[in-house]
Amino acid sequence: MAKLVEPHEPQKVTRRTTKAFLWLGGILLAFAGAYITAVLNAVIPAPKELLCKMSLGFCPAPIVIAFGATDTDYIVDKSGVGQAIAEDQIGMLHNQVVQNFRRANMVKYRVRVESAGEYDLTILYASAESRPVELRVNAQLVQASALQSTTRGWTNEFREWSPAYRVSLVAGDNDLLIRRDDVFPHLSKIKLTQVLAR
């Protein structure tokens, strides 16, 4: 006697086949999308990079390193200089108050950065008279007469930021040397700001 086939069995097979094809199609579509995205990323800049180049404010923030001129975590060598003791000059580095006479002043800072490249160096200082200093980074001369402008006074209220001096830093430790054959202006803060490619 022949076995009767229920009328709904072919529909079950068709549904299973359709689900399998849909599942396989989804996987192939995902792979194709990933491949096309990879190709487009290689040819067209990422949207944020493109918007950054168009100056629409989507650029990553630059690395900024700032520290006090008297911060012993950064000072690796000094000569003829010391920390100010007057209340209106707290945090300033200048000619040593003990045995206060005119002499050569020098300080060397060591700064560690993760990303090599160009940085803008600015210095917050006060100086009632012109006392230009020599700036060197990793022994290379950056400026022979930096900080030569006066700020009309010696105390914290007369502090001003110097112009930006463009310097090249290596990944890792970098030495910043400030020196003068006479006494310093009053140094307050040092700031390095990464220059991002545009």
pLDDT greater than 60 at residue 12: no
Residue 109 and residue 75 in contact, taking contact as beta carbons nearer than 8 Å: yes
Asked, for residue 1, whether it belongs to a domain, the answer is no
Q: 34 and 76 share a domain?
A: no
The rounded mean pLDDT for the chain is 84
pLDDT in tens, 160-174: 999 999 999 999 999
pLDDT band at 24 (very low <50, low <70, confident <90, very high): confident
What pLDDT does residue 197 have? 75
Least confident of 63-72, 93-102, 173-182, 188-197: 93-102
Q: 37 and 127 share a domain?
A: no
Q: 84 and 170 share a domain?
A: yes
Asked, for residue 119, whether it belongs to a domain, the answer is yes
Asked, for residue 21, whether it belongs to a domain, the answer is yes
Q: 38 and 79 share a domain?
A: no
Asked, for residue 52, whether it belongs to a domain, the answer is no
Q: 138 and 87 share a domain?
A: yes
Residue 170 and residue 122 in contact, taking contact as beta carbons nearer than 8 Å: no
Asked, for residue 50, whether it belongs to a domain, the answer is no
Name the E strands within the chain: 64-68, 75-79, 81-83, 93-95, 105-113, 117-126, 133-137, 140-146, 160-161, 165-169, 172-180, 186-194
Asked, for residue 2, whether it belongs to a domain, the answer is no
Give residue 28's domain range: 9-44
What pLDDT does residue 48 have? 55
pLDDT in tens, 46-73: 565 565 666 555 677 899 999 999 999 9
pLDDT in tens, 126-158: 999 999 999 999 999 999 999 999 999 999 999
**CATH number of the domain encompassing residue 178:** 2.60.120.260
pTM of structure: 0.70
- Looking at the structure of the chain, the number of domains it has is 2
pLDDT greater than 90 at residue 25: no
Q: 77 and 118 share a domain?
A: yes
Q: 129 and 70 share a domain?
A: yes
Q: 17 and 79 share a domain?
A: no
